[in-house]
Amino acid sequence: MPKPISPSGLQDHLGYWLRYVSNQVSHSFSLKLAARDVTVAEWVVLRELYDVDAMAPSALADKLGMTRGAISKLAERLLGKSLLTRAPGEKDRRYHALALSDAGRTLVPELSALADQNDAEFFGDLTREDRAMVQRLMMGIVRRHALRVTPID
Amino acid sequence: MPKPISPSGLQDHLGYWLRYVSNQVSHSFSLKLAARDVTVAEWVVLRELYDVDAMAPSALADKLGMTRGAISKLAERLLGKSLLTRAPGEKDRRYHALALSDAGRTLVPELSALADQNDAEFFGDLTREDRAMVQRLMMGIVRRHALRVTPID
DNA sequence: TATTGTTATACTCTATAACTATA
DNA sequence: TATAGTTATAGAGTATAACAATA
Taking chain A (153 residues) in runs of 10, the rounded mean pLDDT of each run is: 73 92 90 94 97 96 93 96 92 93 97 95 95 94 64 27
Q: With a 7 Å cutoff on the CB, does B88 touch strand D?
A: no
pLDDT band at B1 (very low <50, low <70, confident <90, very high): low
Over chain B, what is the mean pLDDT? 89
pLDDT band at B152 (very low <50, low <70, confident <90, very high): very low
Q: What is the pLDDT of residue B88?
A: 86
SS3 letters for chain B? CCCCCCCCCHHHCHHHHHHHHHHHHHHHHHHHHHCCCCCHHHHHHHHHHHCCCCECHHHHHHHHCCCHHHHHHHHHHHHHCCCEEEEECCCCCCCEEEEECHHHHHHHHHHHHHHHHHHHHHHCCCCHHHHHHHHHHHHHHHHHCCCCCCCCC
Mind listing the pLDDT tens digit for each residue in B78-129? 999 999 999 988 889 899 999 999 999 999 999 999 999 999 999 999 999 9
DSSP, collapsed to helix, strand or coil, labels residue A28 as helix
Interface of A with B in 80-119 (CB under 8 A): 108-109, 112-113, 115-116, 118-119
Residue B149 in this model has a pLDDT that exceeds 60: no
For the CA of A139 and the C1' of D15, the distance in angstroms is: 25
Please judge whether B150 and A11 are an interchain contact, meaning their C-beta atoms are less than 8 angstroms apart: yes
Please judge whether B122 and A6 are an interchain contact, meaning their C-beta atoms are less than 8 angstroms apart: no
Which residue is the nearest neighbor of C7, CA to C1'?
Answer: A69
- pTM of the full structure: 0.88
DSSP, collapsed to helix, strand or coil, labels residue A55 as strand
Is the minimum CB–CB distance between B136 and chain A shorter than 8 Å? no
* Phi, psi (degrees; rounded to nearest 5) at B87: -140, 135
Q: What is the pLDDT of residue B121?
A: 92
Q: What is the pLDDT of residue A15?
A: 94
* Phi, psi (degrees; rounded to nearest 5) at A96: -110, 95
- Show contacts of B92-98: CB within 8 Å, 24+ apart: B95/B56, B96/B56, B96/B57, B97/B54, B97/B55, B97/B56, B98/B49, B98/B54, B98/B55, B98/B56, B98/B57, B98/B60
The minimal CB distance from A18 to the residues B21, B47, B108 is found for B21
Q: Among B1, B121, B126, B128, pick the best mutation site for testing chain A contact (most A Cβ within 10 A).
A: B1
Q: With a 7 Å cutoff on the CB, does B23 touch strand D?
A: yes
For the CA of A42 and the C1' of D14, the distance in angstroms is: 13
Q: Among B16, B48, B116, B135, pick the best mutation site for testing chain A contact (most A Cβ within 10 A).
A: B16
Question: How many Cβ atoms sit within 10 Å of the Cβ of residue B151?
Answer: 7
Q: Residue B145: its chain A contacts at CB < 8 A?
A: 24, 122
CA distance B127 to A69: 39
DSSP, collapsed to helix, strand or coil, labels residue A100 as strand
Residue B64 in this model has a pLDDT that exceeds 50: yes
Residues 30-49 (B) near nucleic chain D, CB < 7 A: none
End-to-end CA distance of chain B: 31
